Chain A
Amino acid sequence: MTTSAEPRSGRTTRWRPEMPAWSGPLLALPLIVMVAIFVVIPLVGMVIGSFGEGFDLSAYTEFLESAAQRKALLITFRDSLIVTALALVIGSVVAWNLRVTTSRVLRAVLWTAVAIPFLMGVVIKNYAMSIVLQANGILSRIWEALPFTEGKINLMYTPTAVVIGILYSLLPFGIMALVVAFNSIDPELVRAAESLGASRTRALLSVILPLGAPGILAAGALIFMLSIGFYVTPVMLGGADAPFLATLIQRQIFIMYDNQGASASGTILIVAAIVVLVAAVCVVGTRRLKRAMS
């Protein structure tokens, strides 16, 4: 006959419902080590390295003096803002449709559309874009086919191409972040507003937009932060004429052996990202930001 559950001997040592205090640091140790060595140290090293020996600001003043560097700086931030604006507008439309549509077909199509750019690696995406944008590409063919236009258009190696390319990569992110933002908004509010006399447009702008503003801001911050760091797209689609800071960095490291300059460029990017992040957090609050990012 089996023993009924006898209490095990030696189990009267001190019992705590939580996991033992040493287990946390132990489990987290790999991550701690990894982050310390491969995130914190390199970043700090880079920022310090940008000042060269002693407190040398030359790498930074170069941004003011050299036209090429100024151009990279300007294009990076300007075009990232354009990308962000476009992504927010288009993304909001798509995300709102996903929120309110009852059509299963539309929903499936939209989700597929969102997922597809994820399936292609960044290189393939830009490769596809280059095919579309080049002198003999689709866009050009369509342009030619239109009755009121002449000649071919070649968007390759222009800032426009880079904007389109980055948008292609980041639009899915934006849509997903905006879907999260809109999830907490009740579509019934539009109907409520309309029943009170507002037009659809008015309802959307005066009710939905303010409610979604925090989430939209968070999404925008995310898109901007990701956009300024892009490398493959500006190189493949923008070339030398539409350089991003990343293009510049590549030259600084591999062609000019200017590590200090590269570090300075990198630091500028990081500072910009931090500024945007802090601004977003202040305006929106950390919890919303975290939610938007999941």
Chain B
Amino acid sequence: MTTIPTRSAARQARAEAAASTERRGSSVELTNVTKRFGSFTAVDDVDLSIAPGEFVTLLGPSGSGKTTILRMLAGFDVPTSGSIAIGGREVSRMAPAARNIGMVFQQYALFPHLTVRENVIYGLRMHRWGREEREARTTEMLELVGLAHLGGRRPAELSGGQQQRVALARALAIRPQLLLMDEPLGALDRALRVDMSEEIKRLHRETGTTFLYVTHDQEEALLLSDRVAIMREGKIRALGTSEELFERPPTKFVAEFFSNSNVLDAAEIDATGDQPVVTYGGRSVVLPAAADVAGIAFQPHRARVVTEREPRPDELLITGTVKEVLFMGMLHQIVLTDSTGKRLVVRTSGEDARRLSTGDAITLAVRSGDLVPLRAEA
């Protein structure tokens, strides 16, 4: 279960006070965007609309096309067909310099021969800011990322987290309408990643810039974004807020990849009639109406371990054999194989869990309301 880091109340209040309400971000519109490299289609007819100031994450395994979309937005690649608009302006034929974007990479891409300060000021010089404004803005940015004291250092002298912050400062200095981030936390260790995620979220709030973030890490996507677009093989498979996609994944792929859910295949479901009837282990349960049910999913923590007490009528029963019981502090995690041989994961804090061990028979109950109907893959 992902733990979202909590912040102290004081910090929260301060952050909210400092948050600027002036939205500087622009909208982003991808229409029928396709990118082919030879015979390989990296991005396949993608449509995406991002509102000004939103934080959207493109999430997917490698090869899903998410980085290609980012590169096309930046101008590092040109779409084979389709149009890309930033702030209402068609940009696919526009040089990167004219697009008013900022970009942050996994490998930082800081200029190694320039100091931190010189790195941050670079964009301002290119955009011909006056000397005083440049200096003031650079100082402001360095303070924003907490690196004001390191202005004279070279990138090679900084840690990974610090380098990433310089990259952020540099990208944001020119007040871009859109900030593109390509797996920026990938090279950092776990603790640092959590800290930097907070930083990024804070920067988003304080600058109001539209953020487009690319990652393959489902936790990051959950943590940071307003909306998540889950991509696979060049297409967007699902789009919604983190909560929506997590609690009610629309397809089997999303359920498994993003939502950590257990998935039961369509074979066990009778989808004829107005309301799908799920039959499993000899018991049937009616789902709330949903069309095109190809499978059902439920979250590990939504299953109860039942013993002799009669299960309620609206609960689905699953019987199986325990394979492993893991103690996770607040919860027990039970891995079991059900009667069809499928591997299921359950998390529970119940007393019954504690008494189970490998090889025991186990019965789970899941309320029909917690069963999420899954569409077939688009």
Q: Tell me the A residues contacting B by CB distance below 8 Å.
A: 2, 4-8, 11-17
B95 to chain A: which residues have CB within 8 Å? 11, 15
Report the separation of the CA atoms of residues A12 and B129 in the bound assembly, to the nearest whole angstrom: 22
Q: What is the distance, in angstroms, from A4's C-beta to the closest C-beta of chain B?
A: 4
> Which B residues lie within 8 Å of A5 (CB)?
100, 123, 127, 174-176
Q: Within the complex, what minimum Cβ distance (angstroms) separates B69 from chain A? A: 15
Q: Mark B144-163, 1 if CB is under 8 A from A, else 0.
A: 00000000000000000000
Does A14 contact B93, Cβ atoms closer than 8 Å? yes
Known: A11-B95, A12-B93. Contact between A4 and B175, CB under 8 A?
yes
The 9 closest A-B pairs by CB, nearest first: A11-B98, A2-B133, A4-B175, A7-B98, A5-B174, A5-B127, A15-B95, A2-B129, A11-B95
* Complex interface: chain A residues within 8 A of B295 (CB): none
A6, A14, A17: most-surrounded residue (chain B CB, <10 A):
A17
- Residue B356, interface by CB 8 Å: no
A selection of 11 A-B contacts at a CB cut-off of 8 Å is A2-B133, A4-B174, A5-B100, A5-B123, A8-B97, A11-B95, A11-B97, A15-B75, A15-B96, A17-B75, A17-B77
Chain B, residue nearest A17 (CB)? B76
Q: How many residues on chain B are close to A (CB under 8 Å)?
A: 24
Q: Is the CB of B98 within 8 A of A16?
A: no
A15 near B93: Cβ-Cβ < 8 Å: yes
Contact A16 B97 (CB under 8 A): no
In this complex, which of A8, A14, A15, A16 has the most chain B Cβ atoms within 10 angstroms of its Cβ? A15
Tell which of B92, B95, B174, B175 has the most Cβ of chain A within 10 Å: B95
Identity of the chain A residue whose Cβ is nearest the Cβ of B72 in the assembled complex = A17
Output the nearest chain A residue to B71 by Cβ-Cβ distance: A17
- Please, which residues of chain B bring their CB within 8 A of the CB of A7? 89, 94, 98-100
Q: How many Å lie between the Cα of A292 and that of B98 in the bound state?
A: 45
- Tell me how far the C-beta of A159 lies from the nearest C-beta in chain B, rounded to whole angstroms: 53
A17 partner, pick from B78, B97, B123, beta carbons under 8 A:
B78
A84 to chain B minimum Cβ distance, whole angstroms, is 42
List chain A residues, Cβ under 8 A from B137: 2
A11 proximity list for chain B (CB < 8 A): 94-95, 97-98
Q: How far is the CB of B180 from chain A (nearest CB, A)?
A: 15
Selected from B78, B127, B129, B133, the residue in CB contact (under 8 A) with A16 is B78
In the complex, chain A residues whose CB is within 8 Å of the CB of B97: 8, 11
- Does chain A have a CB within 8 A of B130? yes
Closest to B74 in A: A17
- CB-CB < 8 A to B176: which residues of A? 5
Name B77's closest neighbour in chain A (CB-CB).
A17
Do A13 and B175 touch across chains, with their CB atoms under 8 A apart?
Answer: no
Q: A4-B175, A5-B176 are in contact. Are A12 and B98 (CB under 8 A)?
A: yes
Encode contact with A along B22-53: 1 for CB under 8 Å, 0 otherwise.
00100000000000000000000000000000
**What's the least CB distance linking A129 to chain B, in Å?**
44
Q: What is the bound-complex CA distance between A5 and B92, given in angstroms?
A: 19
- Give the residues in chain B near A4, CB-CB below 8 Å: 24, 174-175
The answer to whether A8 and B78 have CB atoms under 8 Å apart is: no
Complex Cα–Cα for A8 and B97 (A):
8
Contacts of B98 in A (CB 8 A): 7-8, 11-12
